[in-house]
């Protein structure tokens, strides 16, 4: 005799509902042949027979809730299927179980489903269907099931709760998003990415706000531009980050050409480049980025505007962005992410006494190529960016 038990169906799954028997007592069963179906909070699964023989006992009927590990049936491996009616039991020398014995649980692990889980006469609800209907406030009796025997499927439940169409909509990718995805996939597959983020003192933005957010030429001074000035100048001490990696050969560039990520509505991302950025003042960088953004908006960017980048800056996309972890743009080896400049509570020492004050902070992160940099070096670079940011003369460079 071979016992059929309910196997473990995944972590945290402790029980399931027997929703259907594919065989009845007296039927021949082949090893690994689907024997019954069980439904859990996570999946609906067909359970294979653990042995070949004849099904001589069913210990858990359709609709019964069964604990994992509990016996649900017995297979006689030496018996031959009966030739009589559908409920015939083979002559195995054992007394055939009565109907009451078959339907009664053999252990506390098996319990009947409460009547509230039945959508209609003889219709069993799986746990996930029952939860969808209960959470949506829908009575099972009002739902017409499209499953076998009128069973209410997950899609039936979703449709009933949504009270509208639930069909999926196939959306074609734009060419821009497809190309961006291909490029990013290649980058992840070819470059060992690392990432580190630090929080920097952003008090310089208090000074900037007090003096005005425009240059003498009338161009807007953005948070991105201010951090970028410090980041570009720090690259002079960390030249291995201003580099490109091609054919296992690292090329360190003397000229910093910094790209700025720009999101194009419904078409992915473009990265216009400010060339020869190392010697620029804040005023000049604000003008150059503004000109690029104007050409981007009018679709007048040319190939030179998008080529030749040696380092990339990815600015916060909203005032709520703390930080991001961007993917390196090949063949570069690093990209700097800039979070939103925030006002936060800061503990400050005043004459040896800790005091809570309102301060300005910004989180910057560096995604780097592990072949040319490690976390310690990346952290030192970001800390140097913070030092240069704090010492920036925004009034003199406006």
Evaluate whether 132 touches 147 at the Cβ level (below 8 Å).
Answer: no
Measured CA to CA, the distance from residue 145 to residue 123 in angstroms comes to 9
Measured CA to CA, the distance from residue 71 to residue 115 in angstroms comes to 23
Evaluate whether 72 touches 55 at the Cβ level (below 8 Å).
Answer: no
Tell me which residue of 323, 304, 329 sits closest to 365, measured CA to CA.
323
Measured CA to CA, the distance from residue 41 to residue 39 in angstroms comes to 7
pLDDT, tens digit, 9 for 90 and up, residues 220-237? 999 999 999 999 999 999
The pLDDT, as a whole number, for residue 114 is 34
Helix, strand, or coil (residue 23): coil
365 or 46, which is more confident? Answer: 365
41 or 206, which is more confident? Answer: 206
**Contacts (Cβ under 8 Å, ≥6 apart) of 183:** 329, 330
pLDDT, tens digit, 9 for 90 and up, residues 194-218? 999 999 999 999 999 999 999 999 9
Contacts 24+ apart (CB under 8 A), 275-281: 275/308, 277/228, 277/232, 278/232, 278/233, 278/235, 278/236, 280/229, 280/232, 281/229, 281/397
Tell me which residue of 194, 40, 190 sits closest to 130, measured CA to CA.
40
The pLDDT, as a whole number, for residue 38 is 85
Measured CA to CA, the distance from residue 288 to residue 23 in angstroms comes to 76
The pLDDT, as a whole number, for residue 8 is 72
pLDDT, tens digit, 9 for 90 and up, residues 99-141? 444 444 433 333 333 333 344 444 556 667 788 888 888 888 8
Evaluate whether 125 touches 119 at the Cβ level (below 8 Å).
Answer: yes
Measured CA to CA, the distance from residue 113 to residue 62 in angstroms comes to 9
Dihedral over alpha carbons 38, 39, 42, 44 (to 10 degrees): 70
pLDDT, tens digit, 9 for 90 and up, residues 316-348? 989 999 989 999 999 999 999 999 999 999 998
Count Cβ atoms within 10 A of the Cβ of residue 228 and give its class: 0-12 exposed, 13-18 middle, 19 or more buried: buried
1-113: CATH topology is OB fold (Dihydrolipoamide Acetyltransferase, E2P) (2.40.50)
Measured CA to CA, the distance from residue 330 to residue 344 in angstroms comes to 36
In terms of phi and psi (left: phi > 0; alpha: psi -120 to 50; beta: otherwise), the region of 146 is: alpha
Task: Kindly report whether the global pTM for this prediction surpasses the value 0.95.
Answer: no
Task: Give residue limits of the domains in the chain.
Answer: 1-113, 114-170, 175-397
- Looking at the domain covering 175-397, what would its CATH class be? alpha beta
Query: Residue 39: beta bridge partners?
Result: 17, 44
**Contacts (Cβ under 8 Å, ≥6 apart) of 17:** 38, 39, 40, 63, 64, 65, 66, 113, 117, 124, 126, 127
Measured CA to CA, the distance from residue 90 to residue 79 in angstroms comes to 7
């Amino acid at each position: 005799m071979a016992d059929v038990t309910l196997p473990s169906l995944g972590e945290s799954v402790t029980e399931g509902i027997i929703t259907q028997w594919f065989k009845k007592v007296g039927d021949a069963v082949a090893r690994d042949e689907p024997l019954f179906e069980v439904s859990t909070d996570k999946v609906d699964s067909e359970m294979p027979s653990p042995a070949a023989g004849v099904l001589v006992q069913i210990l858990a009927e359709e609709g019964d809730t069964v604990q994992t590990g509990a016996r649900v049936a017995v297979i006689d491996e030496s018996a031959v299927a009966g030739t009589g009616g559908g409920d015939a039991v083979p002559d195995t020398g054992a007394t055939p179980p009565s109907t009451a014995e078959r339907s009664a649980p053999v252990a506390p692990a098996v319990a009947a489903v409460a009547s509230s889980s039945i959508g209609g006469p003889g219709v069993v609800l799986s746990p996930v269907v029952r939860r969808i209907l209960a959470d949506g406030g829908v009575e099972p009796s009002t739902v017409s099931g499209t499953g076998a025997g009128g069973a209410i499927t997950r899609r039936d439940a979703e449709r009933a709760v949504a009270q509208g169409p639930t069909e999926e909509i196939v959306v074609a990718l734009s060419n821009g998003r497809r190309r961006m995805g291909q490029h990013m996939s290649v980058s992840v597959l070819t470059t060992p990415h690392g990432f580190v983020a630090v929080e920097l003192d952003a008090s310089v933005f208090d000074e900037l706000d007090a003096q005005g957010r425009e240059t003498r030429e009338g161009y807007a001074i953005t948070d991105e531009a201010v951090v970028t000035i410090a980041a570009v100048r720090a690259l002079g001490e960390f030249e291995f980050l201003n580099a490109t990696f091609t054919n296992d050969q690292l090329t360190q560039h003397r000229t910093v050409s910094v790209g700025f990520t720009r999101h194009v509505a419904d078409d992915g991302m473009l990265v216009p480049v400010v060339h020869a950025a190392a010697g620029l003042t804040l005023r000049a960088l604000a003008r150059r980025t503004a000109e690029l953004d104007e050409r981007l908006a009018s679709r007048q960017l040319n190939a030179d505007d998008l080529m030749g980048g040696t380092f990339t800056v990815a600015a916060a996309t909203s005032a709520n962005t703390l930080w991001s972890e961007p993917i390196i743009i090949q063949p570069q080896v690093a990209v700097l992410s800039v979070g939103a400049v925030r006002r936060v509570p800061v503990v400050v020492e005043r004459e040896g006494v800790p005091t809570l004050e309102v301060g300005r902070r910004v989180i910057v992160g560096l995604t780097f190529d592990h072949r040319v940099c490690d976390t310690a070096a990346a952290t030192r670079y970001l800390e140097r960016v913070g030092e240069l940011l704090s010492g920036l003369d925004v009034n003199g460079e406006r």
